[in-house]
Amino acid sequence: MQASFDDIDRQLLLALQADARLTTGELAQLTGLSQSPCWRRIKRLEQAGLIQGYHARLERRALGYGVVAFVSITLDFQTESRSAEFIDAVAALPEVVMFHAVTGAADFLLMVLAEDLDTYSRLLQGKLHRLPGVRQVQTTFSLQEFKRFDEVPVPPARGSKKV
């Protein structure tokens, strides 16, 4: 269910997503509001769950992560307890930066960062293959990144025209 917001809220969401370091004064100026109403709107957007945090965007290569792997995992069987055990084990791996249950041939899809292929190989053999219930693991390596998942498209406010 989509949360309700207006054009000013949309402006705030887009501005904060582009630069979370903007001050309330800068956001107020951008939207034409005074600081107090602007601050209240931001708090309301946070409480509604539209804003879930403020983060610095880090460059993986500068941190030494040269390999991006997409890992499809199929479990031997799924029960509630087996799935919960698997999910908890994967969530504890810092190398896994995205983790989804999926439809299709695999049960789960992971996005994994590693320094290099040797480091990934050790992770695969030492941790991923040993996760609870794993039947099959298939890895696809990224050769080149064209677009990162950094921003979520903000739909127009209800009653607004799509741009």
pLDDT for the residue 14: 94
**How far apart, in whole angstroms, are the C-alpha atoms of residue 87 and residue 78?**
11
| Mean pLDDT in residue range 82-105 | 96
Reply yes or no on whether the pLDDT at 163 is more than 50: no
Encode pLDDT of 43-85 as tens digits.
999 999 999 999 888 999 999 999 999 999 999 988 899 999 9
Q: Which residue bears the tokens 């956001």? A: 27
Share of the chain above pLDDT 90, in %: 82
pLDDT for the residue 89: 97
The answer to whether the beta carbons of residues 66 and 116 sit under 8 Å apart is yes
Confidence of residue 150 (pLDDT cuts 50, 70, 90): confident
The answer to whether the beta carbons of residues 70 and 139 sit under 8 Å apart is yes
70: exposed, middle or buried (Cβ count in 10 Å: 0-12, 13-18, 19+): middle
Q: Does domain 67-141 have CATH number 3.30.70.920?
A: yes
Rounded to two decimals, the pTM is 0.83
b/e per residue, 24-33, with b = 16+ CB within 10 A? eeebbeebeb
pLDDT for the residue 86: 96
CATH for 7-47 (1.10.10.10, 1.20.120.530, 1.10.3720.10, 3.30.450.90): 1.10.10.10
Confidence of residue 162 (pLDDT cuts 50, 70, 90): very low
